[in-house]
C-alpha cells in the first residue's frame, strides 16, 4: 500500500507541474505580443554645402570645389548654407579661414558678397592688429604659426631708471632689463600668410598679433626704446603670466655687487675681535677649607 501511494503521489506531482507550465506559457506569449516594438525615430534631413576640396585663405569660392550633402535638420551648424546657389547667389566670396574636405562652409569663415580677404575680417570686435619685426631668434625659430598665443617681451637698457641704477652697483651691462609688454596675444599672421593649418617652421621677418588698444600703444612705444621678441605659450595655458622686470641681479647679483659682498666679508673677518676664553668656577675642599678656582670651560671634566 505504501509503494502504491508513493507511485500515485509522484504521478500527481508531475501532472500538476505540467498543468501549471502549460497554463503559464500562453499568458507569457500573450503579454509579449501585447508589448509593441518602439517606433524608430524619424530624422528629417536637409542639404548643406560642404567643401569638395581644401580651401585656403584668400581663395575665391568655386562651384567645382563645393558640394551639397544631406544633413540632419536638428544638428545644422549656425551659419551654414543649404544650397550652392544661396551661397554664391549674391556674389563671389573669399575664404578667410582654412576649410578642409567635407567640412561645412560657414559664414564666419567667408567674406561678404564680392568681398576681399582683408586682415580686418579676422579681428575680434574691439581688438587691434600690430606687427612686430622678428628674425629666427626673436620669432622662436619660425615655430610661431597663426592661431598660436604668444607673450611680447621687451629688452632694453634701463640705466636711467633710478631703482634699476641703484641695484646695478655700476657693473658693466647690469642695467639691461627684460619685461613682458603684452601677454597671451593671438597670432593673426606670420609674414604675409594667414593659413592657420600651417605646421612647418616658417622663418619670417614680421609677425602680426591681435591686442587691445592699450596693448597696441605699449607695443608701439616698446619698439622705440628696445628690442622686442616673442615667447610661445602652451596651447592649454590661459591667462596672463608672471609680470615684472628681470635684471642681472635676478641671476645672483651684479659683478660689482658680488665684489662688494666679498670685500665686506673680508673686512668683517679682519676687524673681528678675538673671542675671549670662557671660564667656570670649580670649588675644591681640603678638610674643612673650601677654595675656588677658575678653569677654562673646555678643560673641565
The one-digit pLDDT tens for each residue of the chain (301 residues) are 888 888 878 888 888 787 777 766 666 555 555 556 666 777 888 999 999 999 887 788 888 999 999 999 888 898 899 999 989 888 888 888 888 899 999 988 888 888 776 777 777 888 999 988 887 776 677 778 888 889 998 888 866 554 545 554 544 446 788 888 898 898 888 876 655 555 566 677 888 899 999 999 999 998 888 888 888 888 766 666 566 666 655 555 444 444 444 444 544 554 455 566 677 777 767 767 777 777 776 644 4
DSSP string, 38-104: PPPPP--EEEEEEESS-B-TTPBP-GGGEEEEEEEGGGPPTTB-S-HHHHHTT---BB-S-B-TT-B
What distance in Å separates the CA atoms of residue 185 and residue 286, rounded to the nearest whole number?
A: 92
Give the count of beta carbons closer than 10 Å to the beta carbon of residue 200.
7
pLDDT value, residue 259:
44
95 contacts 110 by C-beta, under 8 angstroms = yes
Closest CA to 145 of 98, 195, 89: 195
Task: Go through the domains of the chain in sequence order and give each one's CATH number.
Answer: 45-120 (3.90.1210.10), 127-236+243-251 (no CATH)
Amino acid at each position: 500500500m505504501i509503494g502504491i501511494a508513493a507511485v500515485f503521489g509522484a504521478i500527481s506531482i508531475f501532472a500538476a507541474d505540467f498543468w501549471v507550465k502549460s497554463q503559464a506559457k500562453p499568458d507569457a506569449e500573450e503579454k509579449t505580443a501585447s508589448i509593441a516594438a518602439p517606433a524608430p525615430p524619424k530624422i528629417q534631413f536637409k542639404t548643406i554645402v560642404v567643401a569638395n576640396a581644401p580651401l585656403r585663405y584668400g581663395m575665391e569660392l568655386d562651384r567645382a570645389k563645393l558640394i551639397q550633402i544631406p544633413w540632419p535638420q536638428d544638428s545644422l551648424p549656425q551659419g551654414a548654407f543649404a544650397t550652392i546657389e544661396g551661397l554664391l547667389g549674391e556674389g563671389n566670396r573669399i575664404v578667410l579661414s582654412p576649410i578642409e574636405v567635407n567640412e561645412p562652409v560657414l559664414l564666419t569663415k567667408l567674406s561678404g558678397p564680392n568681398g576681399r580677404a582683408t586682415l580686418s575680417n579676422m579681428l575680434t570686435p574691439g581688438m587691434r592688429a600690430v606687427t612686430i619685426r622678428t628674425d629666427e631668434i626673436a620669432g622662436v625659430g619660425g615655430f610661431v604659426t597663426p592661431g598660436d598665443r604668444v607673450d611680447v617681451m621687451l629688452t632694453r637698457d634701463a640705466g636711467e631708471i633710478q631703482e634699476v641704477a641703484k641695484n646695478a652697483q655700476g657693473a658693466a651691462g647690469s642695467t639691461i632689463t627684460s619685461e613682458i609688454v603684452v601677454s597671451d596675444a593671438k597670432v593673426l599672421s606670420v609674414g604675409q600668410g594667414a593659413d592657420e593649418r600651417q605646421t612647418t617652421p616658417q622663418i619670417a621677418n614680421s609677425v602680426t598679433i591681435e591686442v587691445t588698444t592699450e596693448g597696441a600703444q605699449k607695443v608701439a612705444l616698446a619698439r622705440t626704446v628696445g628690442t622686442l621678441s616673442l615667447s610661445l605659450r602652451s596651447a592649454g595655458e590661459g591667462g596672463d603670466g608672471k609680470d615684472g622686470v628681470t635684471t642681472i641681479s635676478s641671476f645672483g647679483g651684479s659683478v660689482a655687487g658680488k665684489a662688494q659682498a666679498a670685500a665686506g666679508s673680508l673686512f668683517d673677518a679682519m676687524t673681528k675681535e678675538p673671542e675671549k676664553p670662557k671660564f667656570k668656577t670649580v670649588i675644591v675642599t681640603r678638610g674643612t677649607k673650601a677654595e675656588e678656582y677658575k678653569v677654562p670651560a673646555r678643560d673641565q671634566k
